[in-house]
Chains A and B, each alone.
Chain A
Amino acid sequence: MEMMEETNPMTIEIPKEKWSGRVREVTLGATADEGGTRSRTLTVGGESAMPYLYFEGEIPHSPALALEIHDRKPDDWSPLLLEAWGDAAEDPATWAKAAEEAGADLIYLSLSLTTAAGEKNTAENARSVVRSVLNASSLPLAVVGTGQAEADNELMVAVAEEGVGERLLLGICEDKNYRTIVAAALAHKHLVQSRTPMDVNLSKQMIILINDMGMPLERIIMDPTTGALGYGIEYGYSVMERLRLAALQGDSMTQQPMLVTPGEEAWKVKEAKVGEGVPEEWGDWEKRALNWEAITATSLIHSGADIIVLRHPETLKRVRAVVDALTNGA
């Protein structure tokens, strides 16, 4: 016995979870072969283990990193962001191209309620912006509306028509407005993004409602809603962990890939947005702001995010390094 222990030190059995479920694979974008014009498609999901635990399941795709652009220069973005994008933010096509060059996997185009001149955004304008972005960048594209149901009903139908065949990701389907967006996506073969306020059951319900309209589950991305670091990140973080555990346990309506928006959330809080009138102890503004976005994003990668929508090109680089290391590293 003694001898054996000396020569064969005990090997601990690594505890592994046996999961019966798996996250659905969802493919965004369509190449020429598939009726679109994208240079490549983007597949997310497919995990059969908790985030990055390669020793107990499959994680076929790294999370996709998207960069958010707008149909016009946003009025309320932090000066740090506008500085980072420079002139590109003046024109959505240029911006999309810059985002592609910055290393994005997906362009996440957000439509504004009003034009720069303060007039109501129109279906015609939305159509032309989407066309120009599709022409400028060959990446898969997501297009989300203004968040106001009435405006979105008009804009998103036009967007769906204009992008026919491209397998766009259209959003954001919330309780009040999902019908129009889902119908438009169904009619023109697109995908949809659902969103519910940080709650496992509400999230499932929304997926059921969208699915009941005839939208296949292979075309739904689930957004459980993100809180920024310091402003409720722990709620979203835990809801995501619970959704992912439920998915792996075989609960079908939680098996959608998850999309999170740490860029938007982090950049609207004071720590990131502004540099004046804040406590000195907060340290250097730019460094703090970039940390705010990157830490929010990194935490959500660990709670199961499949698509991460960012705002700052530098954050994309940092988060890309983390994702690459988690995927290919030692």
Chain B
Amino acid sequence: MALSGLEIYKLLPQTNCKECGYPTCLAFAMKLAAKQAELKDCPYVSEEAAAKLEAASAPPIRLIELQGSDGKLAVGNETVLFRHEKTFYHKPGLFLRVADTLDAAAAKEMVTQADAFHVDYVGIDLHLDGFAVEAASGDAGKYAAAVGAVREGTKLPLILIASDPGLAKAGLEVAGGRPLLYAADAENWQAMGELAKSANVPLAVRADGPDALNDLTEKLKSLGLEDLVLDPSTAGYKQDLANYTTLRRLAIKKNMRSLGFPIISFPGRLDASDETLLAAQYIAKYSGLVVLDHFDPATAYALLVLRENIYTDPQKPIQVQPGIYEINNPDPNAPLFVTTNFSITYFSVANEVEGSGWPGWLLVTDAEGMSVLTAWAAGKFDAERIAKDVKAFGVEEKLAHKKLILPGHVSVLSGELEEELPGWEIMVGPREAVDIPTYLKTMWSNGGG
């Protein structure tokens, strides 16, 4: 947990020497607390104090990095319980579990298909983050062969699920990169810990709930391990929510280092639960790695979008540049749409116009990254602004007509907009982007209106 200015002040020399560039040690401490100054600017701070300050500034949840043969993933480093308090930083990795008991051809097909899965969502490339290979056969040779086969099918990071140190070792020898080893438990922690340490890979720790986890991570830390991942064991929606929330709170609010690690979850582990909806809970509530048992594009796409949404920085809505956009090579007779610069709004409208096959112009106004309704309610998307942008972006010069299609949700603006833009005809488009193709077919087939 970050120290307050006063707590930092107590660790400084308190001589007000001014060599740091600030008039007093207290002023410098306040700047340090606000992360606007660096400790190295103080030439007289003691080593002991420096170590304390450094420890206090370490993230409450450790950043854990996995590497594949090409491509890596970092999870952890979260600092808040609720995304509006700041933001969630590192999107939970979505993995697919492949057991070594699966027929080699079937495993290869599963991995190849899932590895090739990429979807474009508002300009973001969504895909899985890796594969978890499980030693279900209990046979080291079989396990090594399965890990090797998966490695051939993907360059993404791996998780090696093998609670027997011998099996784990066999997997590690062929995995390459920096996989996550899963998992140390109350019985095997020593052997698994030593294996993870010698291979320099992160190690997952599995136990029932925070107390037992804490006990194990303390033991593993004493072996010298620093990169750990927590599995509080899958118990179902209710207990998992309680456990995950408790772990997050202990790490962030109580600065409990022994539990300051990302959480790994297995939503498919309980037969009785809906894997997709339990995964949704884990994404919203504090999981760092989610291992799915099933791959289906219709599910993966939805979960990846949820992850993207929950991890969007609330202070920086994803925006597109205001301006006039061309879709399907429009000529001066093509229809003109207007919308806001919230990227989801922009992409919804642009995709629909594009998909309709009609050439079109899309005027994107600066609504501070808000959607149409929100921007309108906040006074950031009104007749005055739209008219201003029509002029600013030289819309009139591009068109042979003076017709503007307004989003249906703000039809109320049409009167005012006609006043602001004399000579223009303001048309009210559909409320939802998905209805644009139908709208164009009926309203624009003979040149509009």
Contacts and interface: CB of A to CB of B under 8 A. Distances in A.
B145 interface: no
Interface stretch (B45-53, B155-163, B164-172, B235-243): B235-243
Contact of A229 (B118, B119, B309): B309
Contacts of A4: none
Interface in B313-350: 314, 342, 344, 348
Contacts of A268: 432, 434
Given A12-B211, A322-B237, A295 B117 contact: no
Interface residues of A, number: 63
Contact of B298 (A196, A245, A283): A283
Contact of A281 (B253, B285, B297): B297
The secondary-structure label for the interface of chain A is helix
B210 A12 contact: yes
Contacts of B434: 268-270, 273-274
A281 B117 contact: yes
Interface residues of B, number: 65
B30 to A, nearest CB: 28
A303 to B, nearest CB: 8
B2 interface: no
A197 B373 CA distance: 7
B82 A330 contact: no
Given A238-B84, A330-B238, A298 B344 contact: no
Interface string A202-244: 1000000000000000000000010101111111011001100
Contacts of B241: 52-53, 302, 326
A199 B377 contact: yes
B69 interface: no
B296 interface: yes
B143 to A, nearest CB: 31
Contacts of A234: 83, 309-310, 312, 314
A322 B84 contact: no
A55 B280 contact: no
A54 interface: yes
Given A12-B250, A287-B296, A325-B238, A229 B432 contact: no
A234 B438 CA distance: 29
Contact of B377 (A197, A231, A238, A279): A197
Nearest to B239: A330
Contact of A279 (B120, B273, B300, B308): B120
B276 A326 contact: no
Contacts of B24: none
A9 B300 CA distance: 41
A329 B238 contact: yes
A291 B276 contact: yes
A108 to B, nearest CB: 20
A277 B355 contact: yes
A302 B284 contact: yes
A189 B229 CA distance: 55
A259 B300 CA distance: 28
A122 B47 CA distance: 81
20 contacts: A12-B210, A199-B374, A229-B306, A231-B344, A231-B348, A233-B309, A241-B82, A241-B84, A270-B434, A273-B434, A279-B119, A281-B301, A284-B297, A287-B298, A292-B302, A299-B284, A299-B306, A318-B277, A321-B277, A322-B281
Interface of A: 9-12, 14-15, 52-55, 76, 196-199, 202, 225, 227, 229-235, 237-238, 241-242, 245, 268-271, 273-274, 277, 279, 281-285, 287-288, 291-292, 294-295, 298-299, 302-303, 318-319, 321-322, 325-330
Interface of B: 82-84, 117-121, 210-211, 214-215, 235-239, 241-242, 245-246, 249-250, 253-254, 256, 272-274, 276-277, 280-281, 284-285, 296-303, 305-306, 308-310, 312, 314, 342, 344, 348, 351-352, 355, 371, 373-374, 377-378, 432-435
Given A238-B84, A281-B117, A284-B298, 15 more contacts: A52-B237, A52-B238, A52-B242, A199-B378, A270-B348, A270-B352, A281-B118, A287-B296, A294-B276, A295-B280, A302-B284, A318-B277, A326-B237, A327-B238, A329-B239
